[in-house]
Structures are given as structure tokens and as C-alpha cells.
Structure 1
């Protein structure tokens, strides 16, 4: 009787751990394919903050964000 409970608990723990790692891998690949902020969104944010966005500044910010995301 105690053996079945132990096996059930171990199977549950293994399922939770496996599910966590599968979900984590899926989300990381999804975010890599679909970054949350693109150049257009960044330009709109800068304009809302009262800045005049130049293409050079947008490119610098995108590179910095991509570098931060890859760490």
C-alpha cells in the first residue's frame, strides 16, 4: 500500500519537473521568434516620452535590448 503512494508521489514530482522544463523551453523559443518589442513600438514609446527618435538611436536601443535578452 505504501509502495503505491510512494510511486504516485514520485511520478507526480517527475511530471511537474518535466512539464516545467518543457514549458520553459517553449517560451524561450517563442520569445526568440517573436520579440516583445520591435522598432516600431520603440519609436512610438520614444515619441510618447517627448523624444525625437532618430534611426541611429533606435538601432542602438534595439541592439542593446537584443544583447540583454541573449544573456
Structure 2
């Protein structure tokens, strides 16, 4: 009977550890992506030039604002 308790405690500790590890890693990654967005103005300008468009600063600001709003709405959903 004592061995059964040891196994159950080990399994419970493993599940709790995996859950906590996942939540901590997710929180860390979300804060990293918020501080260092994957796309900045220079990358956006380069992508537009590669697609054959002449990027104006107004267009770039508009696209960045749209992307930031989408990131904020996705964050609020979760």
C-alpha cells in the first residue's frame, strides 16, 4: 500500500510540474514578444519593396497600427 502512495505522489508532482512549467514558459514568451515584436517598421518596409510597392511612411504607420491592434485584441481574447 505504501508503494502505491509513492507512485501516486510522483505522478501528481510530475503533472503539477509540467503544468507550472508550461504556464511559466507561456507567460515569459508572451512578455518577450510584447517587448520585441516580430515585425518592425524596417522589416515591413523591406517586405513592401519586395512585393513591388513603394512604401510611404503613412502606409507603414497604418499597417503597424493595424498589427498592434490585432495583437491587443488577440491578447484580450485569451
The normalised TM-score by structure 2 is: 0.89
Partner of 2:55: 53
Partner of 1:41: 43
SS in 2 for 1:19: helix
The normalised TM-score by structure 1 is: 0.98
Q: Structure 1: 5+ residue runs without aligned partners?
A: none
Equivalenced residues, count: 71
Q: Structure 2: 5+ residue runs without aligned partners?
A: 74-78
Partners of 1:46 and 1:67 in 2: CA distance: 20
Residue 2 (str. 1) matches residue 7 (str. 2)? no
